[in-house]
A = this chain, B = another copy of it.
Amino acid sequence: MKLTILGCHSATPTASTHPTAQILEIKGHLFLIDCGEGTQMQLRKYRVNFSRIRHIFISHLHGDHFFGLPGLISTFLLLGREAELHIYGPKGIKQAILLLLKLGKAYTNYPLYFHELEENTPQVIYEDDKVTVETIPLKHRVYTNGFLFKEKLEDRKLDVNAARNLNIDLSYYNKIKQGFDVKNKDGKLISNKDITFDPPAPKSYAFCSDTEYNPEMVPQIEGATVLYHESTFLDEHYHLAEKTKHSTAKEAAVIARKGEVGTLILGHYSGRYGKLELFRKEALEIFDNVELAEDGKSFQF
């Protein structure tokens, strides 16, 4: 699982700070999470093979999470894309994108599917044999979802040498990977645990931005490998966080501690602070494993 931060700053972008967008590589997928203005330039800058993106998840329809989407969709068109593209986002996103395309007489030449979200409880919005994606309902000034990306538990790993030594027929190998005990060629029952290894523990990534402090999400993100939680403000400005329905670094850390996640990544910083390290310092007082998102930075889990 690899996470690349394309942008992690709040509100008004500048020449050097970009609004929210992330690429999550998970089980062969390249998922794009949010798409602030300039995301397509950032994808090129960090040499992401972005034609591989087939699923885009939009948390909410504030410009700094969404205004890069029309341009990216148009660029796919100009580059002659043929593969399907799926957009998951709040109700209204389809109307907006289709209106912009229509005004430019720029109908897509590839299949473009919208999956509009309007529920206030967690929903599985994508599933295949290797991963699931669920919404995490957040509390912000407009309808907003975080997203929980979960690997599925893989089959058990076959210990080929042990299976051979124990004289097991090849035709049983798939059954063994599924966890069954089997009989060998001599009719002896072989315990599954003697011929398999545990598969790697499934990993998960929870993306939570933008939101006010919202402990209701804790049961859902519990034990996540990585939690990205917005920290627009420091504790000294908690009243601004309350007013604008954002979180402080301290609040993000409390969520991480309650959820016993592996790593907390902070982001969505207000531009008012000089050093990002201040956010990490504040969160470290509550939670041990804190990383700072930075534009262009990658995390491997």
Contacts and interface: CB of A to CB of B under 8 A. Distances in A.
Contacts of A96: 99-100, 103
Contacts of A38: 37-38, 41
Contacts of A62: 104, 106
A141 interface: yes
B40 A142 contact: no
B45 A15 contact: yes
A42 B141 CA distance: 29
Interface residues of A, number: 39
A242 B40 CA distance: 28
Interface string A96-129: 1001100111100000000000000000000000
Interface stretch (A67-75, A180-188, A223-231, A250-258): A67-75
Interface stretch (A6-14, A154-162, A211-219, A279-287): A6-14
Interface in A73-96: 74-75, 78-79, 90, 92-93, 95-96
Most B CB within 10 A of own CB, among A14, A40, A67, A93: A67
Identical chains bound together, number? 2
A262 interface: no
A70 B71 contact: no
Contact of A41 (B13, B63, B79, B142): B13
A275 interface: no
Most B CB within 10 A of own CB, among A14, A44, A100: A100
A38 to B, nearest CB: 5
A26 interface: no
A222 B270 CA distance: 50
A178 B100 CA distance: 49
Interface of A: 11-15, 37-38, 40-42, 44-45, 60-64, 66-68, 70-71, 74-75, 78-79, 90, 92-93, 95-96, 99-100, 103-106, 141-142
10 contacts: A13-B41, A13-B71, A15-B41, A37-B40, A63-B70, A63-B71, A66-B104, A67-B74, A90-B103, A96-B99
